[in-house]
Amino acid sequence: MEIVCSGAYHTRMITGGCPFSRRRFLQAAGGAAGAFAASALFPPLLLAAGGKTVDVGVASAANPAERARRAVALVGGMKSFVSRGDVVVLKPNIGWDRTPEQAATTDPEFVVAVAEMCLAAGAKSVRVFDRTCNDARRCYVSSGIKDAVERFARTNHAEDALRIYHVEDRKFVRTTIPNALSIKEWDLYRDALEADKIVNLPIAKHHSLSGITLGLKNMMGIMGGNRGQIHYRLSECLVDIHRRVPVALTVIDAGRVLIRNGPSGGNLADVKSFGKAFASRDVIAADVVAAEKIFRMAPRDVGHIGKAMESGLGVSSVAQIRLVEG
Amino acid sequence: MRTTRTLRRVSQWVVFLVFAFLFLNTEYKDNDVLPYAVNLFLRLDPLMAGAATLAGRALIGLVWPALVVALLTVALGRFFCGWFCPLGAVLDAADATVFRRRKARRKDAVPESWRKYKFLVLFFLAASSLFTLQWVFLFDPISILIRTFTVSVFPALNLVLHGIFDGLYRAPGPIPAISEPVYGFLKSHFLAFEQPVFRTSAIVGLLFLGILVAERYQRRFWCRNLCPLGALLALVGRFGLFRRRITEAGCTRCGLCESDCRMAAIGGDVAVTDHGECIECMDCQAICPEEVIHFSGKEGRKPAAVDLTRRGVLASAALGAVTVPFFRVEAYGKAPDPLLIRPPGALVEREFLARCTRCGECMRVCIANGLQPTWFEAGIEGMWSPILVSRIGYCEYNCTLCGQVCPTGAIRRLPLLEKRKTKLGLAHVDRSRCLPWVGQSDCIVCEEHCPTWSKAIVFREERTQTARGEWKMFKKPYIDEDLCVGCGICETKCPLTDRAAVLVTSRGETRSTGVLAR
């Protein structure tokens, strides 16, 4: 595993004092290798424990499962996030009645690979669900996620431990969100509220309102009620949700990326092969890096990411992010 | 001699269970194509098949099983009503349970002569259908049963069961541990995926209740007096080869068979049978103390005459015919309701109404609960036909189920690629309510849900003055009418809680214009 750290991110930004332009961001990321070489000597965990720096694993591999495994390994392996006996909720994007090739939903192999890692790390149970936009049955089938997860559970005799199921109205719980920016209370899914750990598995794609959708926005899938209305103040709402239901690990699927007409897409011409995965314990850090690497967008270009950085939810500047590539 | 009666009871149960099974499986089950003919019962119905053929002026291949039933009736008599009809089975079950104690008292509560009304209804409907107005759905027992189950009984049952299990789920102690496995089983085999809701559900339920309550006054009241399918089968089957006869030498004229006949088909002399009325339930054979009653191919005594007058027949037929022009000059023919959105693959309106059985199969199978029964959007003659009410549910882009279940082809079975191009209507934005358009807030929900590639809802970023007079940039939705298929998901998902700011009307629908969308 090669560890390349990009201290260049913050050193240039902060000392330069100039606005954080896309171009600068690019240059910074490109010239990352040398500037921060010293910290490559430290094991990544030690740095994270220091509290200042957050690792973001960036993995490239030809197949989705391999990408997921590598990205998680780069940030310390699943055992740093999931403990023995944990009840884990996996939250992929199953939002649309689209096939994996259309890249509107998380790749099924990617989901299965993460589920497998959770089980291997000793999770007592792994639950997979999403509140969908199209008919839930169609989304679960078309995305290939239902079949892939069930097949894996069956062949590994883990039907009890690993389950994918549909969201039910009766399991939404009216939840108050202390210090909320926008939504003081909302119906959230009971299983997510009660889980020991939540692993967030978004697919990176274009989004017509927020520009792009990554880890922060994916957690809308645990919300009940009239979700359309949160679009009026999307950034604040997303911060509120994450404050109430913190995510232990975010692994972003960027194997195929929908670069136009998101989030639902449909047209294969809008899908580009990217072959990467991003992982971090800090959802904001993961989003910042993915936004830059995939879409060449800086945090201020994406309203809800910028807002989240101001909120104190996670990293508040690019300076706190350390890239770990492999 | 009880064997044949037992056989008949077994047949009723089996047929009803098949009916229930097909009903429950008229649903998306992780498969784009339904694996078997869930619409079988309506396709077996000679009355509906005949009316749709007459009124629609077309041979309908789908209904060939009805021809088999008709031919069997010629050979066997009116067996369908006693052995096969699921509504008949429900009525018999009600007799055996709810109305059990009324059997003795209710004799003669309804005059014998009422039985002629079913023939009059039949001739009325036939004449009407001949002149293209199809009313059969009002009286066809299979249509009534499926419609009632779809729109009324099943949703209500689902609501009650859900209420019970949701209550148990929240109960303290060990209760959920016991109730949840039961709930899980019901959920996967019986309960609806999501609670269905339907317009007209209460009235449909009440009408059905009326048919049930009539049993209080007479056994098989519906079948004896009103059912036009029964009347048709009586006419076709009265010369059937399989018929009741008595070995007169042994008969003591005790009259038990006559007093117990559920159809009052045994008249005056116990040896005389009205073969049109006899539904071959085999009760008389089973209860005869002397065992002199047989059903066989041999000729019995001369059948009783149908109590029909030529005048009655002509009058009802004439009435059926004369009604037609009055409905044809209703103004909705010229200016149809703009909200009358028909399912994808629906025929042009006149042919559609001629064929539509109002069975509700399409509404039952509609994955988003968007297909609803009409009240009067299509006129009185169009009542209970399917209409897409987008505020309730939309047409799922990749779904073709309604065309797969329509028993008469009123909704054509479309291949997915053709269905995706079929326009149900067109959406338009209400710019006086749409949030970005009025400078209220960002939204984009309609655009993100728009399923077409490329999107029929597109944004233009424009400066808009807010209510306070500031100028701000908003992404405003525009509709590309070449791409819009009128699926209505934008209207369903529009976050405005009352009337949506993006709405679908029937303008541009493929079935009227006759062209497929580009």
**How far is the alpha carbon of B357 from chain A, nearest alpha carbon, in Å?**
27
Alpha helices in B131-250 (DSSP H): 141-148, 154-170, 175-189, 201-213, 221-225, 228-237
Average pLDDT over residues A131-147: 97
Structure confidence at residue B220 (pLDDT) = 94
Spell out the domains of chain B, with CATH numbers in brackets: 241-305 (3.30.70.20), 341-419 (3.30.70), 423-513 (no CATH)
Structure confidence at residue B304 (pLDDT) = 61
- Put simply, the answer to whether B443 touches A231 (Cβ < 8 Å) is yes
- Put simply, the answer to whether A207 touches B448 (Cβ < 8 Å) is yes
The answer to whether A57 touches A81, Cβ cutoff 8 Å, is no
- Cα(B147)–Cα(A6) distance, integer angstroms: 66
Residue A208: which of B444, B453, B495 has the nearest Cβ? B444
DSSP letter for B435, please: T
Structure confidence at residue B285 (pLDDT) = 92
- Put simply, the answer to whether B398 touches A136 (Cβ < 8 Å) is no
Buried b / exposed e along B154-179 (16+ C-beta atoms within 10 A): bbeebeebbeebbeebeeeeeeeeeb
Cβ neighbors of B515 (< 8 A, separation 6 or more) are none
Predicted confidence (pLDDT) per residue in B107-137, tens digit: 667 888 899 999 999 999 999 999 999 999 9
Distance between the two ends of chain A, CA-based, in angstroms? 6
Predicted confidence (pLDDT) per residue in B146-200, tens digit: 999 999 999 999 999 999 999 999 999 999 999 999 999 999 999 999 999 999 9
Cβ neighbors of A135 (< 8 A, separation 6 or more) are A97, B28, B367, B368, B396, B399
Q: How many CB atoms lie within 10 A of CB A163?
A: 16
DSSP letter for B83, please: I
Helix (H) or strand (E) holding B244: strand B243-246
- Which residue in chain B is spatially nearest to A170 when comparing CA positions? B166
Average pLDDT over residues A103-112: 98
> Residue with structure tokens 């006559």?
B258
Predicted confidence (pLDDT) per residue in B208-241, tens digit: 999 999 998 899 999 999 999 999 999 998 877 8
The answer to whether B387 touches B337, Cβ cutoff 8 Å, is no
Q: Kind of pairing, strands A162-164 and A197-201?
A: unpaired
Predicted confidence (pLDDT) per residue in A265-305, tens digit: 999 999 999 999 999 999 999 999 999 999 999 998 998 99
- Cα(B487)–Cα(B504) distance, integer angstroms: 8
Higher pLDDT, B71 or B303: B71
- Cα(A55)–Cα(A320) distance, integer angstroms: 9
| Whole-Å CA distances, B387 to A57, B227, B373 | 52, 27, 6
The percent of residues above 90 in pLDDT, for chain A, comes to 75
- Which residue in chain A is spatially nearest to B456 when comparing CA positions? A261
Q: Which sequence spans correspond to the domains of chain A?
A: 61-319
Buried b / exposed e along B418-429 (16+ C-beta atoms within 10 A): bbbbbbbbbbeb
Predicted confidence (pLDDT) per residue in B244-287, tens digit: 888 888 899 999 999 889 998 987 788 888 888 999 999 999 99
- Put simply, the answer to whether A231 touches B445 (Cβ < 8 Å) is yes
Res A24 pLDDT > 70: no
Encoding tokens for residue B398? 């990749």
Encoding tokens for residue A252? 């972003």
Q: Is A166 on the interface with B (CB under 8 A)?
A: yes
**How far is the alpha carbon of B479 from chain A, nearest alpha carbon, in Å?**
15
Structure confidence at residue A10 (pLDDT) = 37
**How far is the alpha carbon of B20 from chain A, nearest alpha carbon, in Å?**
22
Encoding tokens for residue B442? 């960002």
Predicted confidence (pLDDT) per residue in B388-412, tens digit: 999 999 999 999 999 999 999 999 9
**Interface predicted TM-score of the whole assembly (ipTM), two decimals:** 0.91
- Cα(B517)–Cα(A289) distance, integer angstroms: 42
- Which residues does residue B134 pair with via DSSP β-bridges, in sequence order? none
Res B517 pLDDT > 60: no
Alpha helices in A131-223 (DSSP H): 136-142, 145-155, 190-194, 215-218
Could you tell me how many CB contacts below 8 A there are between chain A and chain B? 80
| Chain B neighbors of A134, CB-CB under 8 A | 396-397, 451
* Chain B interface, Cβ < 8 Å to A: 28, 30, 162, 166, 169, 193, 367-368, 396-399, 435, 441-445, 447-455, 459, 475, 493-495, 497
Encoding tokens for residue B126? 């036939």
How sure is the predictor about B498, in pLDDT bands with cuts at 50, 70 and 90?
very high
Please provide the average confidence, as pLDDT, over all residues in chain B. 92
Encoding tokens for residue B290? 């002397």
Encoding tokens for residue B70? 């008709």
- Cα(B498)–Cα(B501) distance, integer angstroms: 9
Which CATH code for domain A61-319?
3.40.50.11440
Judged on CB neighbours under 10 Å (0-12, 13-18, 19+), B10 is exposed
Q: Is A298 on the interface with B (CB under 8 A)?
A: no
Res A12 pLDDT > 50: no
Please provide the average confidence, as pLDDT, over all residues in chain A. 86
Res B514 pLDDT > 80: no
**How far is the alpha carbon of A171 from chain B, nearest alpha carbon, in Å?**
9
- Cα(B34)–Cα(B23) distance, integer angstroms: 12
How sure is the predictor about B445, in pLDDT bands with cuts at 50, 70 and 90?
very high
Concatenated DSSP letters of B116-134: HHHHHHHHHHHHHHHTT--
- Cα(B441)–Cα(B434) distance, integer angstroms: 9
Structure confidence at residue B298 (pLDDT) = 64
